[in-house]
Amino acid sequence: MSVLSHPEYDDHELVAFHRDPASGLRAIIAIHDTTLGRGLGGCRVYPYGSEALAITDALRLSRGMTYKAALAGLKQGGGKAVVMADPRRDKTPAMMQAMGKFVQSLGGRYVIAEDSGTDEADMHEVAKQTAFIGGGAAPLNPDDPGDRDTSAATALGIFFGIQAAVRFKLGRDDLKDLRVSIQGVGKVGKVLARHLHEAGAKLFVCDAHAPAVEDCVRRYGATAIDATELFELEVDVFSPCALGAILNDDSVPRLRATIIAGAANNQLAEPRQGKALLERGVLYAPDYAINAGGIINLYYEGPTRRWADVESHLRRIGGTLTTIFERSHDEGRPTDVIADRLAEAIFRAPRGVA
């Protein structure tokens, strides 16, 4: 199957393939749309089972970044890089420098950043070969909780989004004693757990990494649950912060949550799941609307950056979600459809109009 006929292809501006035999790099950079600005997106290193799976990820995630940036009010386009390698076994400084050369060859159309399988050290290697990098290559500011760590901003944005969802669906301005389940308490999930605990929520957590669960139990009084209990557990909020496609034909009918609001990308396995959630009376916070904290954080990188500005922008996530919820309620359409239309109205508008 060619890229142009791929089901995830959505008039992407560029899909570039690169191989560097010396370092073992095999990578793809996809740029979806640069109407609003350069294509910004993370570099994901993952042992894809096939090139087809890597292409699917690059196309889907780069498109999601376009919509995410538009809805977040950023003058930024959408892009994504995927590296076909095991981050624990295959990744080397030489490979990341080769990735930097690949990024540089595109002349600034794509701006690289951290993602799953990459970290600050990797970005320092990338920065040796390109200036087109979003964060991770400058001295750390210890007074800025979001500097070089997008997880802090992502988690705070999710927290503000949960507050907005609870206010809309449950008519409450506080989270005290609300039952919240979190799937995945890694970088983002563990910070979100702290915010929710401090707000008085009762937490139920699961993660494939047992020590992460134990840490939440110890620090926040969370209840550890097995993945098999996740969907049948009666909670006010279910926050998926791990794998994508978690809302599917198997899980949606079993859900006993009132609200779904989490950090995972591509939570809906198929578009029809958004309609199914609406019909079940479950309020779904579209993933790219609520998890925009990371890209917002990167947008403010630079010498004039202030965490107060980042936090102020993160708070706007709640307002954006409220608009989506209200339109969904008034029009009887799924929240993900409403979010798509709002984003498209921004990045597909004639230049100078959006």
> Active-site residue numbers?
80
DSSP category for residue 187: H
At which residue do the structure tokens 């199957």 appear? 1
DSSP states along 299-350: HT-STT--HHHHHHHHHHHHHHHHHHHHHHHHHT--HHHHHHHHHHHHHTSP
CA distances from 238 to 54, 158, 241, 258, 293 (A): 29, 12, 10, 8, 19
Task: Give the Cα separation of 42 and 76 in Å (integer).
Answer: 13
Residues 6+ apart with CB under 8 A from 289: 68, 71, 161, 317, 320, 321, 324, 339
Annotated binding residues: 184-189
Which helix (H) or strand (E) segment is 25 a member of? strand 25-33
Annotated binding residues for NAD(+): 184-189
